[in-house]
Chains A and B, each alone.
Chain A
Amino acid sequence: MSADWRPAASMEALKGRARLLDRLRAWMGAEGFLEVETPLLSRAGSPELHLDSLHVPGAFPDGAPGWLGTSPEFHLKRLLAAGAGSIYSVSRVFRAGEAGRLHNPEFTLVEWYRAGGAYPRLMSDIERLLTALLPSRLLAAAPERITYREAFMRHAGLDPFAAAAEDLRRRCGAEGGQDRDALLDRIAGFEVYPKLGQGRISLIHDFPASQASLARIRPGEPDVAERVEAIVGGVELVNGFVELVDAEEQRRRFEADRAARREQGRNCPELDERFLAALEAGLPACAGAAMGFDRLAMLALGLSSLAEVQAFPEDRA
């Protein structure tokens, strides 16, 4: 008989998680966000380079394949384009192959969009939400806002925009041949992020334009993506954008991601023409963010792995 039929998380942790979700919904309601639901199973998917959707052959009644989505972003933006106003959703999302102390291939994502929101509002929403939900022992100091460049200068001693690729490669040790963003990701993941959010919320913002994902790019020297991540205790909790609303630019980014995925021999969801049509119809100016709820619960409950707040993580799902 298998002993791992039991939940991985303690009942106490599951109760704490449920209470936290209640508080999150209360906060969202008080802030004027409408809760909406979106399909987990979609006809199209995200081609983002570093997020793998799960393919479900024959998922739909007409025999068409489906994708278990990496986020509800496209559906939520279709609602925004249809005039939904400020909205949020709490949904399960899927990211194939991600498993570890802070990853599970299926997890709960809280995603919200503030109609008319811009950079300052996006950052203050993230700070206020996390301050409302996390215990004060984790937030002894006031929130910190630090640019991607400042964070690298302070914690890795290099300028991520100016450093030569060769220097980045040397910094990362033997394995060469990685592209610039992969090298920066590696330095971010091992050197920079672990030092952020110590006793406070760190908002790291103004990412390299090449890491914009679905964020708007602010022209400058250099161009930066209006993208922000919140880190508490070295754990990345929230990723937010001032949203790209330009359909043509969005299509170009998707095509570039799809080409890169094909080159790497990875699966490649169909272009989401309904999402692109919504952008063409007009996505109102907005800012949005997504928060890993399992990680939030882990931090709030003083635990150190997602398995401690998930009833059935991947190894016993």
Chain B
Amino acid sequence: MANYSTNEFKSGLKIMLDGDPYAIVDNEFVKPGKGQAFNRVKVRNLKTGRVIDRTFKSGDSVEAADVHETDMQFLYSDGSFWHFMDPSNYEQYQADAAAMADAAKWLKGEEICRVTLYNGSPLAVEAPNTVELAITETDPGVRGDTSGGGNKPATLETGAVVRVPLFVNEGEVIKVNTRTAEYLSRA
């Protein structure tokens, strides 16, 4: 695997530290007086999400992490794994629950997701920013109250629960922002 010099450090760069893949969140160049220069970086562990500080002597190099992001189509879940296909070469990949994290609850099939691969296996999966899903269960709205203000929980066909306005009913398809888990509109 290639190495990166501290000169190449910038946010988003993927590096290996202590055997784990990390993404640089922030890079600070510190050089006192006429002295030795350092790069202090904030890095996020791509497995655990934990952010730590590390300091490097400028000019040092660090192993690059074999991490890249690619768009894949979600095919199906078999209960333990979620299966994806890279549409450019039809290769299939399986992501475990840790990699899926929150993304799992927004997917029903065929969505294009951003998949982060580490050494060829899915490390993280991002659902599309917005999804359209049918409501399978919600209390009937109160007739006449269409102006908002009030809202109620609704269970979607994937099992996710979001707050929806009172006028939205079971069986309707709605658009949801997956980043904030908020109702956007009727689809």
Contact = CB atoms under 8 A, between A and B. Distances in A.
Nearest to B40: A190
Interface string A67-106: 0000000000000000000000000000001111111000
Contacts of A42: none
A98 B29 contact: yes
A189 B28 contact: no
B57 A182 contact: yes
B33 A211 contact: yes
Given A185-B33, A186-B36, A190-B55, 13 more contacts: A50-B31, A97-B58, A98-B31, A103-B29, A172-B55, A173-B55, A175-B56, A175-B57, A182-B35, A184-B35, A188-B33, A189-B35, A239-B33
A51 interface: yes
Most chain B beta carbons < 10 A, residue from A97, A172, A173, A188: A97
A193 B29 CA distance: 14
Nearest to B35: A185
Nearest 6 A/B pairs, CB to CB: A100-B29, A185-B35, A189-B32, A185-B36, A182-B36, A188-B32
A178 interface: yes
A310 B32 CA distance: 21
B4 interface: no
B36 A50 contact: yes
B50 interface: no
Contacts of B93: none
A99 B40 CA distance: 13
B3 interface: no
14 contacts: A50-B31, A50-B35, A100-B29, A175-B55, A181-B36, A182-B35, A182-B57, A184-B35, A185-B33, A189-B30, A189-B31, A189-B32, A213-B34, A229-B33
A53 B57 CA distance: 19
Contacts of B58: 97
Interface residues of B, number: 19
A100 B32 CA distance: 13
Contacts of A236: 32-33
Contact of B55 (A98, A99, A186): A186
A182 B31 CA distance: 10
A127 interface: no
B7 interface: yes
A181 B32 CA distance: 11
B103 to A, nearest CB: 32
Contacts of A229: 33
A74 to B, nearest CB: 15
Interface string B41-59: 0000000000000011111
Interface string A42-55: 00000010110000
A213 B35 CA distance: 10
A98 B28 CA distance: 11
Contacts of B30: 100, 189-190
Contacts of B29: 98-103
B15 to A, nearest CB: 15
Interface in B47-85: 55-59
B7 A97 contact: yes
A48 B27 CA distance: 25
A275 B31 CA distance: 27
B37 interface: yes
B41 to A, nearest CB: 11
A103 B6 CA distance: 15
Given A186-B55, A190-B55, A100 B34 contact: no
Nearest to A264: B59
B92 to A, nearest CB: 39
A236 B30 CA distance: 11
A99 B58 CA distance: 11
Interface in B82-135: none
B28 to A, nearest CB: 6
A182 B60 CA distance: 14
Contact of A50 (B27, B34, B40): B34
Nearest to B6: A97
Contacts of A213: 34
Contacts of B32: 185, 188-189, 193, 236
A190 B36 CA distance: 12
A202 to B, nearest CB: 13
B38 interface: yes
A213 B33 CA distance: 10
